Structure 1
């Protein structure tokens, strides 16, 4: 009997279609089927396919209309006709596909093999007796429900794996980046170069406090014989006794470097190149406005560049992690994952080298155990009023820091010019007595603690001692004694610490337009990823050395100076480079 009153049930075909939908829904929601699908998913080898979307091929007709995508479609040219078994898809490929799909340039699908459907059908036939309706309902369920379910789960698994790898890459780079060697006890001039808006100048003292900030407008094209900006900068250098110039590596860096040399501004004041990723973003952040109320953000970025030289760790943690310029597709990683990775990296670095209380930023101090926003602010106020801390014990004089807080934070805060040598280490004041007894036992003088040869002497002395026995003799535990030994053995700056470099760029090449195949360049490694590394050669965009072009057993690390050769520069892709050698 047909229901003639209802148009949806007026024919046999319509009734059959509705019954099929109901059965498909029953099959899909059955817990036994779901469990079996999950099991089959783990055994199945899916294929990931991508192609270019039709919308991204349409040419922009009206100039007033904004393009729907953020990137040039040709950035994803490799994935226009691409397929790969899911088990062989690399993390960076997954993240590229996801970004291309989000920008509506790529269409991505998961191809499910017939094997999966056949296995699932055989299983469903064992659960229900009516073969005809099971096959019909399962066919409908596969098209409408199971295929999208599989696609979501396969893509989700690939994305989760890719994000973990991306966070790992980010953390590895970040830990090394945060360990950039600080340059202490100097008046530093930070220079944020630019063409139209001029060059922003920020000058800080040896404690990181602002001395001056202004904008100069140099003739970077060097058309004038006399440039007033050169005299202005020379006067600033003389007035404040500038001992070092930190030049940002962004737009107009090369031209500014040549301008400084032409006007003899760096004859007596050395120049170093400072990575400025994230400085502009930080300068307009709430953190920056709180630190420098009512100050021009452009000038804040120049001060930030100067502080990156004095205290890289304290300055870099102010920047949103995704804007630090290290890692793999870090803009596509959930912010919380990056924040957690940043916290982990900072904790590891602080535990390794400590934090110089005389230069640390408020953002850095509030991350230290026992300190918060209010206590960090009071430490900085005390530091400014008293021209810095002379010893760790002086921390107790800061209002709001009592005995308990001191116990929590003292081991992480170092005072580099203290009369107590142990104040320069990560050894807690509570362990000073043990550390001094141990130093006496192995026959070393703590006054030599900061000297280059001290770690080597300690290394040779501790080879012969029994840690467990010695810890008992000193009435301490093994962990405390090992921490003291590690602090004694730690070189002032370990081999894996990045050092700022003087300009290493090729003088003959100033921009990417001058590049051609076979051009040799020098540069600095700014980012290391699973498929190679990116090198700043001073031509604007960083060039890529693919791992296939690293040559032999050479593996550059973040901050390494390298000599490279251009092998191709297909726009809009990255400049392709081959590694020739790692420079000293």
Structure 2
């Protein structure tokens, strides 16, 4: 680590904030600034960061960017205010000590370029000297009328004493609003006791949707993020009228005390100016700040929640070695069918109708034909419109014909977007959009990650309010999630799509397409080194990507593992030490004891000329060379029958799949037309701060019926076993 990095105050500040060492932060930033990706650093450069994990690295990157942005913004603000001739020593000190963008915005707010104010007009009328006299206490309440009279006629607009005094008050109010300490005091008062209040606009078309907020009021400190977003949405749709309530009289008293007005000659006039400043200038600005901060916090929380759900969905285990019959349900247009081989090749496709009794009989016959002809034992049924009806026909067909089949309900969100996309058309140019959408549903069961990366993650449908979030932030955040998942699982170089490859560390859309084109022209890759023959893939890209791209049955056995090519010499030394030939890796013949019993990691790394982190990574890769981390997760829940509300009673035990996790609980598919809700209070017999602490999307859980609302078709569930 260089002396400059050691002395960099931003690195030191970030290290202190994140409770990391300066060496760790400096090492991480050196790699990040050099263009290395976070997945690559996490897996293959732990020695440079002291073992930082992916989450820590993203925190370092985010924190350092925020600090660098503050430095740049501070310089711009100092230059702008100095150009106005208003940069006092006190203001300069406050700006230079500001450690966040929010604080800089607060300090700069009174000096931003804006339309002409009432204070500007008063200044043009020559009233600033009188305002300064009042502020300094050289003019009392009893003298104001006389002094104001003397100003009449000095400007065409000064036609009365009232006009003069109003102009002076405008100047005083503006000065009060610009005083840093006074604004901060008012802000602290508002933050301590502010309430969000909503009233329903009964004339709105969306009034029924926001009925829960018809007469709503809550302290801002207790307002959960999902309510902030719901209130914002209601306000945007003009269904809610939203206001912020806080104690302005108390703030006025505190500002008066700060200005020591008890002995001020113009106490009454100054108090009126404070009230005017609070009502017209400070108050509205603070209320905007509070609403903005609540919204920003809610956005960050929603992004994190949505990202966690997307991650869990992407990392669902693949259903390998199965021929799938995909079913895309529909009423008017019928149920689209597609039979997929274990490799995802389309073997047959058709359309059947299940809602008309006559057509349903024909649908059963066609289902039996497809299932028996192609030896299908798993059906993937989309969860959209007519899903319930399709499930009923499928279960009836399975039962009456004695078929050895089960079905899985698959989240079909975004399938229609994929079917009409350039990616969908290029993959299946000979099929229409309806068939492409059905194929997508089936492939999501065969390999969720490979299929879902073809859809923009905001369309996957496992969040709340994601469509209300800033599009740029959403795309960046979810892009990080997808990148993390792809590199966590790894990619088979010889069969991965360009849509999957573009998320691999060091690659992008252009190089991913180039790899696929090279594969089509030259056949499969025989070793990782051949990547350097692909146009656009240079040495730097190769180093970043190689470890995440696997080649099974290639010329180099280590290419099928997580071992990076730069560590092949170390891996061969370890294998030789353990008496294992590289070719045996394909049979998973290596035992834990054969490698780890030889010496402790620190001693072994010294002997082999490596470092502890790299040695541990290589050892792990050799012990489980073909490991897919998704193997540890719950397999898809197979069903053979459907449920109806009439069958349920309070206390009925069910198995279900978590389809969405939100702030207040989790939605669970238990085989009904609508998902049931497990409220956060029904998840554990202890306090939990987040449903994510207990469940995750795709997890199979055991639940019991807690409430049944037949009229609205809703079921409340509990994870607490009835006593």
Alignment counterpart, residue 195 of structure 2, candidates 45, 48, 52: 48
Alignment counterpart, residue 528 of structure 1, candidates 661, 678, 691: 661
Distance across 2 between alignment mates of 1:516 and 1:50 = 39
1:402 CA displacement: 6.1
Name 2:678's counterpart in structure 1.
Answer: 545
Give the secondary structure class of the aligned counterpart of 1:524.
Answer: strand
* 1:172-321 → structure 2 map (5 Å cutoff): 172-208=308-344, 210=346, 214-220=349-355, 222-223=357-358, 226-227=361-362, 229-233=363-367, 244-264=378-398, 267-268=403-404, 270-289=406-425, 291-292=427-428, 296-321=432-457
Q: Note closer, same or farther for the CA distance 1:194–1:453 as it changes in structure 2 (3 Å cut).
A: farther
Give the secondary structure class of the aligned counterpart of 2:719.
Answer: strand
1:128 CA displacement: 7.9
1:465 aligns with 2:599: yes
Q: Note closer, same or farther for the CA distance 1:154–1:463 as it changes in structure 2 (3 Å cut).
A: farther
Of 120-129 and 271-280, more deviation after overlay is shown by 120-129
Does the CA contact (< 8 Å) of 2:642 and 2:672 recur in 1? Answer: no
Q: Over aligned residues, Cα RMSD in angstroms?
A: 3.9
1:91 aligns with 2:230: no
Q: Note closer, same or farther for the CA distance 1:493–1:467 as it changes in structure 2 (3 Å cut).
A: same
Q: Which structure has the larger Rg over C-alpha atoms?
A: 2
1:354 CA displacement: 0.8
1:546 CA displacement: 0.8
Does the CA contact (< 8 Å) of 1:47 and 1:112 recur in 2? Answer: yes
Give the secondary structure class of the aligned counterpart of 2:174.
Answer: helix
Alignment counterpart, residue 119 of structure 1, candidates 242, 248, 254: 254
Distance across 1 between alignment mates of 2:232 and 2:368 = 51
Name 1:487's counterpart in structure 2.
Answer: 621
Name 2:203's counterpart in structure 1.
Answer: 58
Q: Note closer, same or farther for the CA distance 1:128–1:341 as it changes in structure 2 (3 Å cut).
A: farther
Give the secondary structure class of the aligned counterpart of 2:297.
Answer: helix
In structure 2, stretches of 5+ residues that fail to align are 1-148, 687-692
Q: Note closer, same or farther for the CA distance 1:44–1:250 as it changes in structure 2 (3 Å cut).
A: closer
Distance across 2 between alignment mates of 1:520 and 1:178 = 28
Distance across 2 between alignment mates of 1:27 and 1:225 = 76
Q: Note closer, same or farther for the CA distance 1:266–1:324 as it changes in structure 2 (3 Å cut).
A: farther
1:548 CA displacement: 1.0
Of 289-298 and 113-122, more deviation after overlay is shown by 289-298
Name 2:698's counterpart in structure 1.
Answer: 559
Does the CA contact (< 8 Å) of 1:176 and 1:498 recur in 2? Answer: no
Name 1:64's counterpart in structure 2.
Answer: none
Distance across 2 between alignment mates of 1:82 and 1:498 = 41
1:494 CA displacement: 5.3
1:476 aligns with 2:610: yes
Give the secondary structure class of the aligned counterpart of 2:403.
Answer: coil
**TM-score normalised to the size of structure 1?**
0.82
Q: Note closer, same or farther for the CA distance 1:446–1:196 as it changes in structure 2 (3 Å cut).
A: farther
Of 527-536 and 1-10, more deviation after overlay is shown by 1-10
Higher helix proportion:
2
Give the secondary structure class of the aligned counterpart of 2:210.
Answer: helix
Does the CA contact (< 8 Å) of 2:323 and 2:342 recur in 1? Answer: yes
CA offset digits 1:251-274 (Å, max 9, x no partner)? 322332332343348925553332
Q: Note closer, same or farther for the CA distance 1:167–1:230 as it changes in structure 2 (3 Å cut).
A: same
Give the secondary structure class of the aligned counterpart of 1:104.
Answer: coil
Distance across 2 between alignment mates of 1:262 and 1:22 = 81
Of 413-422 and 480-489, more deviation after overlay is shown by 413-422
Name 1:24's counterpart in structure 2.
Answer: 173
Does the CA contact (< 8 Å) of 1:179 and 1:498 recur in 2? Answer: no
Name 2:85's counterpart in structure 1.
Answer: none
In structure 1, stretches of 5+ residues that fail to align are 60-66
Name 1:63's counterpart in structure 2.
Answer: none
1:87 CA displacement: 1.9
Give the secondary structure class of the aligned counterpart of 1:263.
Answer: helix
Q: Note closer, same or farther for the CA distance 1:111–1:36 as it changes in structure 2 (3 Å cut).
A: same
Alignment counterpart, residue 573 of structure 2, candidates 413, 417, 437: 437
Distance across 1 between alignment mates of 2:649 and 2:596 = 56
Alignment counterpart, residue 286 of structure 2, candidates 145, 150, 157: 150
Give the secondary structure class of the aligned counterpart of 1:45.
Answer: helix
Does the CA contact (< 8 Å) of 2:225 and 2:298 recur in 1? Answer: yes
Name 1:345's counterpart in structure 2.
Answer: 481
CA offset digits 1:173-202 (Å, max 9, x no partner)? 222222111234555443211222112234
Distance across 1 between alignment mates of 2:483 and 2:511 = 19
Does the CA contact (< 8 Å) of 2:601 and 2:612 recur in 1? Answer: yes
Does the CA contact (< 8 Å) of 1:247 and 1:272 recur in 2? Answer: yes
Does the CA contact (< 8 Å) of 2:643 and 2:672 recur in 1? Answer: no
Distance across 1 between alignment mates of 2:280 and 2:341 = 67
1:508 CA displacement: 3.5
1:135 CA displacement: 1.0
Name 1:357's counterpart in structure 2.
Answer: 493
Distance across 2 between alignment mates of 1:201 and 1:225 = 14
Distance across 2 between alignment mates of 1:411 and 1:443 = 24
1:110 CA displacement: 2.0
Does the CA contact (< 8 Å) of 2:486 and 2:500 recur in 1? Answer: no
CA offset digits 1:15-59 (Å, max 9, x no partner)? 544443343223223445345545x35x841232322233xx137
Distance across 1 between alignment mates of 2:712 and 2:154 = 63
Q: Note closer, same or farther for the CA distance 1:117–1:244 as it changes in structure 2 (3 Å cut).
A: same
Distance across 2 between alignment mates of 1:302 and 1:16 = 75
Distance across 2 between alignment mates of 1:474 and 1:158 = 54
Of 192-201 and 545-554, more deviation after overlay is shown by 545-554
Does the CA contact (< 8 Å) of 2:502 and 2:509 recur in 1? Answer: yes
Give the secondary structure class of the aligned counterpart of 2:454.
Answer: coil
Name 1:334's counterpart in structure 2.
Answer: 470
Does the CA contact (< 8 Å) of 1:46 and 1:110 recur in 2? Answer: no
CA offset digits 1:46-78 (Å, max 9, x no partner)? 232322233xx137xxxxxxx3x4xxx344333
Structure with the larger RCO, 1 or 2 (CA within 8 Å, 6+ apart): 1
Q: Note closer, same or farther for the CA distance 1:270–1:452 as it changes in structure 2 (3 Å cut).
A: farther
CA offset digits 1:127-162 (Å, max 9, x no partner)? 986323221111112112222111111122222222
Of 423-432 and 236-245, more deviation after overlay is shown by 236-245
CA offset digits 1:226-269 (Å, max 9, x no partner)? 40x44545555567665643222223223323323433489255
1:287 CA displacement: 4.4
Distance across 1 between alignment mates of 2:340 and 2:493 = 16
* Count of residue pairs the alignment pairs up: 560
